[in-house]
Amino acid sequence: MQRRFAQTPGRHRLRFRLPSTILRRPALLAILLPASLAAAQSQWEPLNPVTGVQQQSDGVLLTMQAGVLRLQVCSDSIIRVTYATVPPLPSRPDYVVIKSDWAPVKWTFGINADAGTVILATNALKVTVARSTGVIAFSDASGARLVEEDSRKLTPERVNGDRTYRAESFLNIYGSPEALYGLGQHQAGVWNYRGESVELAQENTNIAVPLLVSSKGYGLFWNNTSRSRFDNRFEHSLYITSEVADTIDYYFIYGPELDKVIAGYRELTGEAPMFGRWAYGFWQCKNRYKSQDEILAAAHQYRELHIPVDNIVQDWFWWNRKGEHVFNSNYPDPKGMVDDLHRNHFHLMISVWPFFEPPSAAYDEMDRRGWFIAKTLYSKPPYHAQGMARRHERGSARLLLAVDERCAVQDRHRRLVARHR
What is the H or E stretch that residue 97 is in?
A: none
Residue 11: predicted pLDDT: 37
CA distances from 36 to 32, 45, 375 (A): 6, 16, 36
313 and 338 assigned to the same domain: yes
Of all residues in the chain, what percent carry a pLDDT higher than 70?
Answer: 78
56: CATH:
2.60.40.1760
Containing structural domain, residue 351: 277-419
User: Which of 221, 246, 269 is where one domain is finished?
Assistant: 269
How does residue 419 score in pLDDT terms, banded at 50, 70 and 90? low
How does residue 301 score in pLDDT terms, banded at 50, 70 and 90? very high
Closest alpha carbon to 143 in 170, 115, 169 = 115
User: Which of 269, 302, 320 is where one domain is finished?
Assistant: 269
In 57-132 the beta strands, taken as DSSP E runs, fall at: 59-64, 68-75, 78-84, 108-112, 117-121, 125-130
247 and 312 assigned to the same domain: no
Residue 178: predicted pLDDT: 97
Residue 108: predicted pLDDT: 96
242 and 355 assigned to the same domain: no
Interatomic CA distance for residues 382 and 200, integer angstroms:
28
58 and 197 assigned to the same domain: yes
Contact present, 292 and 321 (Cβ < 8 Å):
no
Of all residues in the chain, what percent carry a pLDDT higher than 90?
Answer: 64
77 and 111 assigned to the same domain: yes
Mean pLDDT of 15-22: 40
Give the least confident one: 70-84, 233-247, 280-294, 318-332: 318-332
Full DSSP string of 253-283: EE-SSHHHHHHHHHHHH-PPPPPPGGGGS-E
pLDDT tens digits along 249-291: 999 999 999 999 999 999 999 988 899 999 999 999 999 999 9
Bridge partners, 185 (sequence order): 207
Contact present, 120 and 127 (Cβ < 8 Å):
yes
239 and 291 assigned to the same domain: no
Mean pLDDT of 361-365: 84
Mean pLDDT of 41-62: 85
pLDDT tens digits along 69-95: 999 999 999 999 999 999 899 888 888
Residue 359: predicted pLDDT: 77
Q: How many domains is the chain built from? A: 3
Closest alpha carbon to 22 in 44, 47, 1 = 1
Interatomic CA distance for residues 350 and 319, integer angstroms:
11
What's the angle, vertex CA 352, arms to CA 351 and CA 356, rounded to 5? Answer: 150
329: CATH:
3.20.20.80
251 and 139 assigned to the same domain: yes
Residue 255: predicted pLDDT: 96
Residue 36: predicted pLDDT: 46
100 and 174 assigned to the same domain: yes
390 and 284 assigned to the same domain: yes
281 and 265 assigned to the same domain: no
307 and 253 assigned to the same domain: no
How does residue 42 score in pLDDT terms, banded at 50, 70 and 90? very low
Residue 161: predicted pLDDT: 80
Mean pLDDT of 377-387: 53
pLDDT tens digits along 133-146: 999 999 999 999 99
Pairing of strands 117-121, 108-112: antiparallel
User: Which of 235, 269, 303 is where one domain is finished?
Assistant: 269
347 and 199 assigned to the same domain: no
**Which carries the bigger pLDDT value, residue 4 or residue 179?**
179
